[in-house]
Structure 1
Amino acid sequence: MDINKFDWTEGLENKAIFSNDKVLIFKMKKSKYVTQNIPGPGCEMDDFEDKLLGCQCLACDRDCKCTAQYGNAYKDKKIDLTLLGSSVTPVFECNSNCSCPSQCQNRVVQHGISVQLQIFNTDNKGLGLQTLEKIQTGTFVCEYAGEIISLQEAQRRCNKQKDTDMNYILTVKEHCKNGILKTFVDPDKLGNIGRYINHSCSPNLSMVPIRVDTMVPKVCLFANRDIEPLEELSFVYGTLRPDQKTGTKCYCNSNGCTGFMPFDEELKSSFYFLE
């Protein structure tokens, strides 16, 4: 298969993603494209290798064991909006061990990107991602995918960065019966289109960790409101501490802008922290 040299996804997504200025890909693309999380230094390999059990449904309903414990997260392929808050309920999609068809209502993010997106050069935030079509509330847009690494590796990489370097490491913090589970995702060298989405204090996307075949969460971005064509896509990188009066300046220009990017002491850097 011939790969279009202007496609930022390298032919790996359902839909090619181009930029409004074709030369951007040669000047600005510095990472190898991956469609889903891959194991990186320090990660627990068992989390990638141990497969989840599947249901035996011919057509999933209320008795499907994949949704019985946590409920059905989707209606008409749109996510339940109550899952877009800061405290999320675990979401498990039907998986490759399930008997249900690919059209099952409990299979959404595993099918990949279904909306037409575009890379563009913002005024003062570097590259950004925008939609070329209207996106309805609750629609899955894309993952934030990259290398899954340990806390120690995340700290090592952050310590090597210069003040002028972009930081892409995302931390997902989930509360579970055994305590707090943290997942570190770094798409800097190996990542998907999610790495180009900028921060906003009033974002139009919300993140939800969703599990499909393994316990490694897919960090998924859904529209939290209707999004119009050519709108820049954004999510909130974290919660600004009440006492934070300095740091990296925020350029989201939203009415609710806090003025600064979130900062976390554990990694000594700004990053998304999903509770």
Structure 2
Amino acid sequence: MTYDSLAGSILNFTCNFGFLINKYCNNLDRYNILYIMHDNYSHKEDGIDYVDENIPGPEDQTNEYISLIEKFNSQLAHSCDCNFKCKENYCSCLKISGGSNYTSHIVSQYVEIFKVKEQETGLHCYPIIECSQHCKCSETCGNRVVQNGPIDTLFVTTCEDVSKGLGLFTREFIPKGTFVCEYAGEVITKSEALRRQKFNQTHNKMNYIFCLNEHVNGIVIQTFVDPSLFGNIGRYINHSCESNCVIIPVRVDSPIPKLALFSCVDILANGEITFDYGSSYLTSSKEIISESLNERKICLCRSSNCRGFMPYDVY
């Protein structure tokens, strides 16, 4: 993000997978993963370290942080016994996901691509669980998409509206349903997220913190990702009230989800990649919205459905 929403972004993603979240085992060798993420991007700005996947935030001695590290040092316990490519009726990973996560599209004799499966309620409404290092399927299995890394057509440049700063663009056409990139950075605790948000507000700094809310059997599981100092190419994606990408949580090995961006419409060559920084504020009480109007920033997306202000959500 190159301009901030004051309290970060909150994505309300409703799903039911409580049986899965608690089904993981401790494994201190988690980082010896077999899948290879192909990410050749880098940052041109000083003071920002490039990471292609989420990393744990700064250490502290709170129970909140200890719980976070336990998840980082854990793996999901499921795996499949598929011989080559996973099939919906047999693959245990796909059964957990409620069916196939991606659909196959043959581009040429030698090229096959996979798009996120579109359903009546949108691109995807189940939690996506990709095959892991414990699965017997091949590396070309259609249930291994996000773990392979971002598409290679992205570039960062100054937006046409220079007041927006930098933005993320694509050199080539991106079909609807394509995995674009991950929004990766430091995974931090809620306490650390609130501390950083207050610091950003006080010092008039940009706020990159993304808060994912997952609703599981009446419980809300929150994941906070901050790519401000450690992040990948996704940190440059700007907000739009009429965005062309959505974030879907995807799990690969770890109980901590990846924030995966998928195109929700066709994106033309040289088009800017955008997503909606927040949504729950639209259903907030009028009192909360009224009290925050003096703190909210003007939206610069210039879309036909622009709401006028940047999303304002609370953690």
Considering the TM-score relative to the shorter chain, is it more than 0.5? yes
Q: Residue 198 and residue 127 in structure 1: after superposition, are their counterparts in 2 closer, same or farther (change >3 A)?
A: same
Match of 1:128 among 151, 167, 171: 167
Seen in structure 2, the aligned counterparts of structure 1 residues 86 and 156 have a Cα distance that, compared at 3 Å, is farther
What is the aligned counterpart of 1:30 among 29, 47, 54?
47
Equivalent AA in structure 2 for residue 189 of structure 1:
L
The answer as to whether partners of 2:39 and 2:52 remain within 8 angstroms in 1 is no
| Identity within the alignment, % | 40
- 1:81 Cα deviation after fit: 2.3
Partner of 2:232: 192
- Shift of the alpha carbon at 1:40? 1.4
Q: Unaligned 5+ residue runs, structure 1?
A: 1-11, 19-23, 267-275
For residues 76-115 of structure 1, what are the structure 2 equivalents within 5 Å? 76=104, 77-82=114-119, 85=122, 88-115=125-152
1:158 aligns with 2:197: yes
Residues 1:260 and 2:309 aligned together: yes
State which drifts further: 151-160 or 28-37: 28-37
* Residue identity opposite 2:184 in structure 1: A
Q: Distance in 2 between matches of 1:63 and 1:140?
A: 25
User: What is the count of residue pairs matched by the alignment?
Assistant: 248
Deviation at 1:97?
Answer: 0.8
Q: Secondary structure at the match of 1:44?
A: helix
- With over 3 angstroms needed to count, the CA separation of the structure-2 counterparts of 1:15 and 1:174, relative to structure 1, is closer
Post-superposition offset of 1:115: 3.3
Contact 1:237 1:262 in 2 (8 A): yes
User: Which of 33, 38, 55 is equivalent to 1:14?
Assistant: 38
Partner of 2:8: none
* Higher normalized helix content (fraction of residues): 2
Deviations 1:120-143 (A, max 9, x none): 112211110000000011000000
Structure 2 alignment gaps of length 5 or more: 1-35, 59-64, 105-113
RMSD: 2.2
Moved more, 71-80 or 171-180: 171-180
Counterpart CA distance in 2 for 1:225 and 1:91 is 20
Counterpart amino acid of 1:144? Y
**1:51 is aligned to 2:78:** no
- After TM superposition, the score normalised by the length of structure 1 is 0.84
Contact kept? 1:84, 1:208, Cα under 8 Å: no
C-alpha contact 1:144 1:221 (8 A) present in aligned 2: yes
Q: Which structure is richer in relative contact order (CA contacts within 8 A, separation 6 or more)? A: 2
1:141 aligns with 2:171: no
- CA 1:29/1:85 → structure 2, altered by over 3 Å: closer, same or farther? farther
What are the equivalent positions in structure 2 for 1:56-71 lying under 5 Å apart?
56-59=81-84, 60-61=86-87, 62-69=89-96, 70-71=98-99
